[in-house]
Amino acid sequence: MRIKKYEANSMNDAVRMIKKDFGPDAVILHSRTINKGGMFGLFGRDVVEVMAGIDVNIVEKKQNQEARKPVAAQIPTQQYPKEQVAQQRNIYAPREETKQYFRELTQEISPITSSLEQKVTTLTREMDDIKETLNIIVRKVANSPHPMISPKLMGYYKQLESKGISEDLIVSILQNIENDFEDKDLDNKQRINDYIRGKVIEMLGTTNQIDLDAPDAKKIIALVGPTGVGKTTTIAKMAANFSLIQKKKVALITIDTFRVAAIEQLRNYSNIIGIPMEVVFNIEDFTQALRKHKDMDIILIDTAGRSPNNRSQILELKKFLRNSFVDTYLVLSVTSKSKDIYNTIQIYSAIFDDKIIFTKVDETDSRGVILDVVQKYHKKLSYFTNGQNVPDDFEVANPGKIADLIFDV
Ligand SMILES: Nc1nc2c(ncn2[C@@H]2O[C@H](COP(=O)(O)OP(=O)(O)OP(=O)(O)O)[C@@H](O)[C@H]2O)c(=O)[nH]1
Ligand SMILES: [Mg+2]
């Protein structure tokens, strides 16, 4: 703040002086009337004393603004002829062609802006539609434990889930129902159960059994699979069926020489059924045994159980089974975890083609994995076993029977 003291004859004079020094932004801080010039207070005259000041910031700000003003505005007009000043000012006025340019530009832009407006309107409408659809989905999800399934069919979802059928197959079956049934028929339990059974049978596709009377029948059958799934027992059941029921000539070969007990197990069965059995330790023995029994109607080969995690052991079996006359069946227990079953199928695919025997169906109510194996891996069911009794607990797999097994009928 700059401050100055003034003395004037009147307040008006003082203000004029202040304004001259500080400009219109000056402020009067203090004023008083004093007597000046006389002696002892006599014969003097009254003057006005004023204290005034100005904020230096305001002054600087004003000066900067002045400096930024266009040159023409700063031209002291009285120093130049009027025409010259007008000419100078015209430099800053828009020219006619500039005005024209902006007029044309506006004309060009206006269709673009109106189409943009339209697009924004359409997008807003679409966003509203999406919001509405999302709300419907959210409401549906909130009402149903499975977002893809109508709440009316959730009972069937639970039922199929309890049978061990995988989620994606259940969803596929129930979505078929939603497509094929009218809403009012979704309450018809009998119709829906029949439909589901029909779908499962359709999904199980064709099965495959050994027909020894077929002209191209393969006569040499090997069973492979993980440890303890029931290979040896199933071989005994098959041998007994072919020999005792179908009256065929049957021979057994075991390449499972890993445990003495395994050899003894099969020898016992061969003795009981009354059929020959060979124990082979290498490829030469194997070829010799096959040659020896070439006149048999069927030769059944038992193999050592191999963990799917031991790929090299599985490939070891390949040396024996790569013979094109050998038809290899994978034996799987329904009691195994689905994940392990899928893993086994993948690893054993190196030595078996597509035929599967499921064992131990009597040990669980959850047999839906059979359907998954057929659907996901395109395998064919051949037989299933449902107990430890040789030869009784052995059945030909047909889609109707498997569907009954899955639904525990
Ligand atoms: N409950 C039931 N048990 C079965 C079935 N099939 C086999 N078993 C039993 O499963 C156990 C193992 O059977 P094995 O035939 O020795 O199995 P494996 O696959 O030959 O076994 P490894 O040769 O050791 O790999 C035995 O106790 C059988 O009685 C079946 O269908 N149901
Ligand atoms: Mg065995």
Alpha-carbon distance 312 to 197, whole Å? 41
Buried (b) or exposed (e) across 45-57, using 16+ Cβ within 10 A?
Answer: eebbebebbbeee
The residues that bridge with 54 in the sheet, in sequence order, are: 2
Residue 211, in any domain of the structure: no
Domain identity same for 129 and 150: no
Same-domain check for residues 199 and 314: no
CB 35 within 8 A of CB 44: yes
Answer yes or no: do 261 and 344 share one domain. Answer: yes
Kindly state whether residue 215 falls inside one of the protein's structural domains.
no
Residue 210 lies in a domain: no
Q: Kindly state whether residues 14 and 83 are assigned to the same domain.
A: yes
One domain, residues 125 and 248: no
Q: Is residue 37 part of a domain?
A: yes
Nearest atom in ligand 1 to the alpha carbon of residue 265 is 16
364 lines ligand 1 (CB under 6 A): no
| Sign of the C-alpha dihedral computed for residues 173, 174, 179 and 183 taken in this order | positive
Which pTM value belongs to this model? Answer: 0.67
Domain total of the chain: 4
For 308-339, letters b (16+ CB in 10 Å) and e give beeeeebeebeebbeeeebbbbbbbbbbbebe
* Ligand 1, atom nearest to 229 Cα: 19
- Higher-pLDDT residue of 143 and 292 is 292
Last residue of a domain, one of 46, 69, 90: 90
Atom of ligand 1 nearest to the CA of 363: 1
Check pLDDT > 90 for residue 12.
no
pLDDT tens column, 287-320:
999 999 999 999 999 999 999 898 888 988 999 9
Q: Examine residue 214 and state whether it is found in any structural domain, yes or no.
A: no
Confidence of residue 41 (pLDDT cuts 50, 70, 90): low
- Residue 213 domain-assigned (yes or no): no
Per-residue model confidence as pLDDT tens digits over 245-255 = 999 999 999 99
Predicted confidence band of residue 71 (pLDDT cuts 50, 70, 90): very low
227 in a structural domain: yes
The residue segments making up the domain with residue 193 are 144-204
Tokens of 165: 């059928």
d(CA 147, CA 139): 10
346 and 322 fall within a common domain: yes
Please tell me whether residues 84 and 130 are part of one structural domain.
no
Residue 75: band (very low, low, confident or very high) from pLDDT cuts 50, 70, 90:
very low
Q: Identify which of 233, 252, 386 to mutate to test ligand 1's pocket (most ligand atoms within 8 A of the CB).
A: 233
Q: Whose CA is nearest to atom 7 of ligand 1?
A: 230
